[in-house]
A and B are shown apart, each in its own frame.
Chain A
Amino acid sequence: KNQVEQSPQSLIILEGKNCTLQCNYTVSPFSNLRWYKQDTGRGPVSLTIMTFSENTKSNGRYTATLDADTKQSSLHITASQLSDSASYICVVITDSGANNLFFGTGTRLTVIP
């Protein structure tokens, strides 16, 4: 069964600290993996997209890694800011077609001063 699991469900960190969010998937065949940021009351916004051959992708203070062999991805946030408080969603896509996106349930990150 195609599944995407994220951990932890929620996380609270102090402003300025780093954190790492995890995504494990059983989706096959694999096309690409995306991380989205969803602010409260807003729609998700794309942070990174990684294909099978990419194992690291950065977007400012956000760095995503992918291990396609173990089917694991992580999102590392450096020097967290209050504005990083949001849900972070991992999405795994199998192949062409609009019905082949598998969404994780997200990690709720809260950054406190």
Chain B
Amino acid sequence: NAGVTQTPKFRILKIGQSMTLQCTQDMNHNYMYWYRQDPGMGLKLIYYSVGAGITDKGEVPNGYNVSRSTTEDFPLRLELAAPSQTSVYFCASSDRGGPSTDTQYFGPGTRLTVL
């Protein structure tokens, strides 16, 4: 299994541009998550999904959108990029029990810079 894969690894955006961060998992996990990690800060949950067709907001959802049309894919969309969105983005997944009972598996991250 490849686990959780993310693309791209790095990206530089100009203010106001948009982009989609891709995330795919091949473990047939129900739960998928998007986090951002800022320097010196703990991971913050942006959005999560408990299954295909179901998404919900996390702690810091403003400026982002997600969709979950399949079990495997959970893309994160940034509209009108702002410097405050400069961060490292991690996608994660966990099995049907959710994060309270099942281990979260993280992707390698996408480093995004907005200039």
Contact = CB atoms under 8 A, between A and B. Distances in A.
Q: Which one of A32, A34, A97 has the highest number of Cβ atoms from chain B below 10 Å of its Cβ? A: A97
A2 to B, nearest CB: 11
Contacts of B74: none
Given A95-B100, A99-B59, A44 B42 contact: no
A101 B101 CA distance: 12
A57 to B, nearest CB: 13
A59 to B, nearest CB: 12
Contacts of B105: 46
Given A43-B108, A98-B48, A32 B100 contact: yes
Interface residues of B, number: 26
A12 interface: no
Interface in B41-69: 41-45, 48, 50, 56, 58-59
Given A41-B109, A43-B90, A98-B48, A106 B42 contact: yes
A70 B103 CA distance: 25
Contact of A98 (B41, B43, B56, B109): B56
Interface in A59-113: 89, 93, 95-106
Contacts of B8: none
Interface of A: 4, 31-32, 34, 41-46, 49, 89, 93, 95-106
Q: Which 7 A-B pairs have the closest CB atoms?
A: A43-B106, A103-B42, A98-B48, A103-B43, A46-B103, A96-B100, A105-B42
Given A34-B103, A43-B108, 8 more contacts: A4-B42, A32-B100, A42-B109, A43-B92, A44-B104, A93-B99, A97-B98, A98-B50
Interface of B: 4, 31, 33, 40-45, 48, 50, 56, 58-59, 90, 92, 98-100, 103-109
